[in-house]
Structure 1
Amino acid sequence: MRRLVALLLLLSGPLLAETPDRIAVRVGDHPGHGRIVLDWPRQVVFRSERDGTALRLFFTAPEAVDVAGARRPPRNVRAVATIPGGVEITLAPGVEPRVFRLGGRIVIDALNASATDAAPAVEAPAPAPAPPARRLARAPAARPAPAIVPVAAEPAPVPVVTATPLPPPGPVSPARVATVEPPPAPRSPAAIPLGHPAPGVFLLTLTPPPAVAVLRRGGEMLVLFDRALPLDLAALRADPLLEPAVVAPLPGAVLLRLPVAEGAGLRATRAGDEWRFEVLPVAAAPAPMRLDAAPGPPARLALQAAMAGRVVALTDPLTGLPMLVGTMLGTGEGPGQGMPQGRRLPEAEMLPSLLGLAVLARAETVTLVALTDRFLLGAGPDGLRLGPAAGEGPPAAAAAMTRSFDIPGGTAASLSERLRAQGAGLAVAAPLTRGPLRLAAAETLMALGQPQEAQAMLAIALQEDPRAGRDARIIALQAAAALLSGRLSEAAALATTTLAASDEATLWRAVLAAARGEAATAAPGIAASLPLLAAYPEPLRLRLLPHAAEALVEGGAPAAAERLLQDAPDLPALRLVRARLNETQGHLAEALAGYDEVARGRDRLARAEALRRSVELRLQTGALDAAGAAAALDAALFAWRGDGREIAARERVAALQLQAGAPRAALALLQESATLFPDRAEALRPAIATAFLAALEAEPALAAAALFETERALLPDGPAGTRALARLAGRLAAMELGDRAGALLIQAMARADAPARAALGLRLAMLRLEDRDAAGALTALEESRATGLDPVLVLERARIQARALAAHADLPGALALLRGLGLPGADLVAELLAEAQDWPGAATALGDLVAALPAGPLGAEPQRLLLRAAAAALLAGEEARTAALAAGFAERMAETPLALAFARLTGDPATALLELPRLTRELDLFRNPPARLEALRAGGPVAR
């Protein structure tokens, strides 16, 4: 059966191809021109050729043109006939054709010679679709060269100026309104010369003076007079600043085009009947027109202008679209009123102007009405689409905001149709004219929520046209598309481009800051531009909402976030933001429920963020301790992998593990993170060092020593690492592992500064002295010698050096060192002399210490000192010294725990000698028992 169907399809294909549709041709006669219409059911790519009076159109579609409807062509067309691949139209001599597209139809207007001479068109750098003659005051273009005809960017008909003025909101003077066919102004019998009083200055003196508008378009200043004046520029030809000026007559008006350098300006002022125009090196800002919402419906905007003139319709030299220009009768006392910043609406764009108002019409219903004190901008019976923002006031809130891009509004279907028309126009446009068309197509793609395609479209524009790289709008829109695509590095141009300041630029730069995690920076800009965000088409708005709402919540603007979320759809990413908003507002139960709901969803990123936030909230409320939170976050690490969010989650887990007393686990996790993300290894180094030091402190001594031996490269430089080694060496020394402790101290000395090295050398010397390595102790002290040390450290080092000298059989050197210290060394002098059985010397040294005792109650150390002095005097046989001690301190010792021992040592010498062995053992009076005491233990005689 399948084979039969396939065979039927193969057989039917050629038959279908041989029966193409027939395209009907309609003709009509109009005043000044004839018209031929080819009714194509869809847009088709075509090209035109001109050969004398013959105009040939060639189409890429296979349909045949049925010229039966053109048997009686217009009076200025001789014949319409089919040719292979198209149609040939034979024109009468002197007739000029104009070809344009109107929806799917292709329209050919045959213009009479008188019509082409009456009103020459303003030169435009790129061809543009022409409006129907029956609805718009026509300004024919110059004779086109044979070329591919560009397709209009919009499938809808081109804009026109309506003939009926909108009624003013209240009693006002009669309005001056732009009409469809303004009557030509009576020509002056002679040309009007322009005055030239100074370089860069020209004057127009006329009674009554005309109304004027001044604006920049591209590299030119346009000066529009609302009357058809035969201007004579002869006086300007000797001025290099004014010599390039040209005059372009318009129906009922005249346009003066003056090339002016970028950044320069043109100031227009009126005094009486004289207009003065002066070229300025730097453009001066005009006085802005106040923009208000006019009473409606329909929705209109009122721009307050104290000296409004007439509205003139002309063709924009840059885009080829109709432009409605509101002129001014004067400038008043200060600078004239204009538009310092352009404003964009779906139907129209208010261009920046130095004097007057210029509106670029993007819809056929756009109207501009001039009253005595204001201009009214509307769009037919339906009014302007001002984009109301939910909870943010009237529709004019969005219209009052300045824009940088021309992101269109409408439904997805209308935007898709617009994009198809723009694509057709791009296909037939010359490469160097595609930059503005690609920008418009990229703006449509952004409106459709397709930022990747928009970025690619603009990348092609940058490759095709070298001028595109200087267009700040193209650079900024490409960065905005990269931002929505998640390419933050490419989106950085939003913050650095020279895009003019506007509310829209503020919005996108704030969204960039939000995507970077700078919520505090982003929140004010987003809150200020909420109406503009709400006016965006839904596909684009839905992409921006999560970034904007999260930044408002995190940046401390919960009220603005609540307004933004009121009418927002129920998206998983927005559920997460709503839960975060509940947490910020203190609704913790609702926040936890929201996090848990998002964690059960299918959006991986939202799920991972919800899991982590729920753990943090439970930790905050006490439902989890640090260990439980660390375990829960560790289990959620695999919910989202591979970017900065995972790194942040790993660092948070490690911090909680440290807090829970598990530094070894934190160290392992951070080391794994550095391996998985080598580009972040350097940033993780401080956290790894902190975890390593904590592990050295928390682990048992032997495990800590083993950890240090295997991961010694993790020990941080500076005092923290040195202190960790010293503490670990002390723990090993307490376990009588002197060799391993000494090795750690040597490593610590190698990385310490001079004061710390001296202290570590002291500890190493003490350790070696305890191991009876006197020479090693002296070496450690010598290698750690330093100047400018703390006096306490100097004293301790000297005492240990003296002990080492004594142990190294250099008692005289030790005694000399200690005696050089004065009284602080007397205690150790006495001890060394006692060990050498030099009791008179020991008694003398202890006597010096006793003489320095302060008056008052005796503490524990002075009491022991008195006992030692009494024992030394007893063993030295110095009864006078013993009696002096008894007389001087018996009363002060009477109330102390050692009073009885002192009384026995200072009493009868024979009894005292018998008590001395027991007191030595109990009170540790001497390091080694004296030989005389050993004789008492053995029961032998005691000699004095």
Structure 2
Amino acid sequence: MIRDVRSLGLTLLLALVCAATLLTRAAPAWAAEVSAAAHDGYGRMVFRWDDPVRYTVEIRNGNLVAAFDAPIPNSVASVPGRLPAYVDTVRVSPDRRTVTLPLKGDFTLNVFTLNSSVVVDLRGGPDLDPTPAATATPAAPESIRVRTGSHDGYQRIVFDWPRPVDHTLSRDGRTVTLRFDRPARLGVDAIQGDLPAGFGTLTSRIDGDTSVAALTIPPGAEPRVFTSGPKVVLDVTTPSGPEPRPAAQAPEPPQRPAEPEQTAEAPGAPESPAPSVPDTAEATPPAEGAGDGGTGTLTPEESVPDPFIGPTDGEVSILQPGPEDASGADGVDRTPNPAAMDAVAEGGPALAPGAEDAAADRLTQGPGGGDEAASPRGSGGGQVVSLGFSWDQPTAAAVFRRAGYLWVVFDRFQEVDLGLLRRLGVGVVRSVEQVRIGPNSTLVRMTTAPGYNPSLRRDGLLWVVDLMQQPMRPEHPINVQPQVRSPVGPRLLLPVIEGGRVVPVRDPELGDQFFVLPLIQLGHGVFPERTFPEVTLPVTAQGAVVIPRSDRIEVRSSRSGAEITADGGLTLSPEDNRLQTLATLGEGALQEVFDIPGWRREDDATSFDDVRKDLQYAVAMAPASRRGPARLELARFYFANGYAPEALGVLRAIAEEQVEMVGTPAFRALRGATQFLMHRDREAVDDLSHPSLVDVDEAAFWRAAAQSRLGQAGLQAAILEASGGVLENYPPDVRIPLALVAADAAIKAGDDLAANTFLESARDPEFNTTHDEAAIHYLEGNLFASAGAFEAAIAAWKEAEIGQSRRHAALATKARLDMEHRLDLIGTDELIAGLEGLRFAWRGGDFEYDLLRELGDLYLDEDRYGDALRTLRLAASYFEDRPGSEELTERMRTVFDTLFLDGAANDMPPLTAIALFDEFRELTPTGNRGDEMIRRLADRLVSVDLLDPAAALLERQIRYRLRGLDRTRVGARLALVYLLNRQPSNALDALDKTRFAPLPETLERQRRHLRARALADTDNVPAAISLLENDSSEDARVLRADIHWRDQNWAEAARALAELVPPPPSGDETLAEKDAFRLIDWATALTLAGDETGASLLRQRYLDALDGTPFRDAFDLVTATPEAGLIDIASVGGKIRQAEKFRSYLTAYRDRLREDRLSAIN
């Protein structure tokens, strides 16, 4: 029943399409004439039409092939007679829409349009025979450059004649005609895109011994003409100008014709203004009120460069805009002038030879105005508000409307002052918001009052968006150029300069993703909307927006322009590809695309081997002209019988020896399908995306199947369903794998009906292999899960797990484990164990990538940071070319920061933390954040006496990360670590290699003390003491005492300690603890030095100051005088032990490090 309803719907839809087609073609475009003529070095053909047509022209295999969407007239038969040196015969297709002309030489092609005519030049031909002397050949008309510029109140057009020429100006309604009394080719095409709205097309023609330029001007405008030296200047004052004149019964202003969908743009080059060169002629402004025939001069400051846009060589395919009939909406007759067309054919190039290489100028400035003046364009009335966006460096912008919002996008990020925008936009801007779209882009969306649209201007680095009541269109429409052939395949080229970074955007309202191309070029945008099979470019006021209809779309911006491409080639127009398919199809076997049952030759009574031998013999015996088709039959036989590698080998031989067959649909389809069977999906997509196969359902199905296996299953589901009927005629060994791929795509797209249909097609008990059965069970489980039947899904997956397909067993096991964990049937530990068991069950592709990512997430949830980092690193390294793999590396950096900046590593044992840091050292951030991370880790290591790893960490930091003062500061910390670790030589080395001057006094003194201690520890006491000679700081006195004590120079130690102990306190006060320790050390040094007198005097001075303190007994022991002649052994032992308790210079540092961090010492 469902199929019947769908069939009825398709029937009704087809009927409507047919009816629409009949209505559309009720008034076809017919060619008026085809003319041709030979010239010096080139031959020209002109296809003249009443209305614009779509066409393609190219040279293919030695033939000129031109295809049109209207019938070609019989007069095309006259071309060989008019161009005998270029073409031999003419072949016209049965539908009279394609003409093929075999060429007699190696010519280059140049194609351009003039009004609704298509001009085809074949360059590289012979020069014409010189005319006999008795018959003088008239000189070829010269080429005159034409330029234009917009000024305040008038539009100026300059004809750059090299010498004075007589001229007359006439007017008929809104049509102004300027006739020059000399024949010349006027380069009017160069300025067509620069004339403002309201002006018609500027045309030119040669009329006998004169040349004529004609222009339709806006209502109420007035023309005047004057000269500047040899130049002829036409000024058209606009109604808002200084001297408006009422037009007599002038018709309504013409609407600027909407540019239609194109397959290629008219020839042209992007603007590239040359430096301004002032005119040297003496000039004064034209006399006020000069008449139509009046003369005048051009002021020097107004004579500035103008642009030239000329034709380009190569294939061109255009759908030109045109009115519904010969007369446009403005009432002006737009029927092409036959005489002008004949002049194009007979009179040489429409544009000057070599003009493509000429310097380009432009009249864009008035006297004292700039092209980016900070004032808004004139509006159609109503309020005007200006919104400013300030930047500190050049920034590209895009401005457009979408889903009810006005979007402003920049290719750099900044926080926008929304409050300021609201204040500036009062009365027009109703809401404004900033949407986060990434770290390198800025998006502001706003809603405005109805009818308000943007204009843009720039003042330095400031972008200004002026909102006023006006149509939505750019000042300079971008010439979107479809290119069927380019170095990267079919593409759309936007010839813009100063393109910014392409910004991918996901629409918060619609949910789709599209691309924004901001531009620095002011006022360059898309108009009208351009629609192609795979992309749409909507109207913009600035920049370009690319809305993809396929996941294959890529947008790139470079210095030479922006390009829109697709994996496998961008589909530019179905009509173009149909024409190419018809042109590339050969005869006989090349007409076929897929006939798998026939290729199998199952009806032959002979065996497979006999058929193979017969086909191989046919290849061997075939003449060179038929060897390619014979090989193709052999390749088809191999393919249809499941011998894909053998088929591919034969196809490679064809590609090497019969190159002309490579572009045929038969070859591309067979090679693409063969690549698919060999799981070479990218190569399959490349072949099956060939333009000749665009409208072939079978090719579309195979291509979509290959793209599904590349990870685009959900996006290809609709194509697979629409063309899935091709499976009915396929044998089981071809049908089943294709049906399984299609079923997977339908499940991912949520199309249960299509999924069941394809699974039913895949079920064939007579032919299903164990691999097929496992795949069917796995997909059934996915289908059940998508429908919420979780128990049935788990049961189906278990069936797949016990099958003979390792791949589907692994897929099913992972799906089951995830589902059981989601249903709380198993815990996280059990899930992790199960997934770890699948690590080597199936390698590569989406399965391993997804498995590693999931394991990484689970390890992080369980705080297993080491396992998480190792797993994520595996995924990032194994799949580094996969889209999104950079997110894994970024995630690893985030985890690393969590550990060593946010303090998560503090919960680990120190050795584990340093081991993890060393293992993933490459994740250390650059700059201050990385230095802070190392500082914290070094502090922790030193605090627990892990001095060796702390020293290694600081060594690497000094060697690879630090410079200048920071390096010197960390060098002092490293020296201290080495001293604490009893490695004085390493300490000296650390100090030597981190020298820097000048240093802060505190740091310089600290490094001097560390060096002195290191010298003393290397038994260089004199050098150590010398460093401290003029240092009276307390640290220096302690260090001197420390050095002498360790050297057992008790007298000098006592002298140094005497400087550290304060005088005895008065009254009942006692010494502080630190001073009491030093007093005991002083007394010990005196006793060990044998200075009993000094010790006795010290006892007398300080013993009472120690009363009631824990230090009195020790001091009494050290300073007690033994009985004469007796040695108190216990007393001597106590004094030795007291000497060993001496608090050295490093002991003080150790105490500080227990209370503070290593990094706190300097």
TM-score of the aligned structures, taking structure 2 as reference length:
0.36
User: Which structure dedicates a bigger proportion of its chain to helix?
Assistant: 1
Whose RCO is larger (CA < 8 A, sep 6+)?
1
